[in-house]
Homo-oligomer: A and B are copies of this chain.
């Protein structure tokens, strides 16, 4: 059972007659923090620094240039450093590992499946994310579907934003992780 429920259940039970039943109610995260990760895409020339690579592409495209129609059909595998601030050169607190898929022909969207493997004095454990990412929207929500270690059985929402980018080669993502189910 979720530890967070022990007290909350009781207070919410007391409060039930006045609880607003509408769907616009706001929940307060039981845990929240912000992390950044940095993706440097392999372009045929930056093997030493690249943290990600195109590994699948639609017919006619290649693996060193993102595909033509808003990169539709590219799958990128990544192992990106995670930092506490927005500086690529800050000491990493873990790695963001998994893949993203460009999945629309007439705009930029991607589908994300990845895991944060955190290994610092502050956090030990993994957090797994799944979701659709409408890249051009300033701030978008994806699902936190599971966790291990310090994040055992956690679930939540991550609000992500593209913090910076340089052409097709570098981008930095700001990830505001809000857990609503803590154990």
Contacts of A150 in B (CB 8 A): 23
Closest chain B CB from A137 CB (angstroms): 11
Closest chain B CB from A154 CB (angstroms): 9
Contacts of A4 in B (CB 8 A): 1
Contacts of A92 in B (CB 8 A): none
Contacts of A27 in B (CB 8 A): 1, 152-153, 183
Size bin of chain A's contact surface: 35 or more
Closest chain B CB from A49 CB (angstroms): 11
Does the CB pair A13–B19 fall under 8 Å?
no
Task: Knowing A1-B5, A19-B6 are in contact, say whether A79-B104 is a contact too (CB < 8 A).
Answer: yes
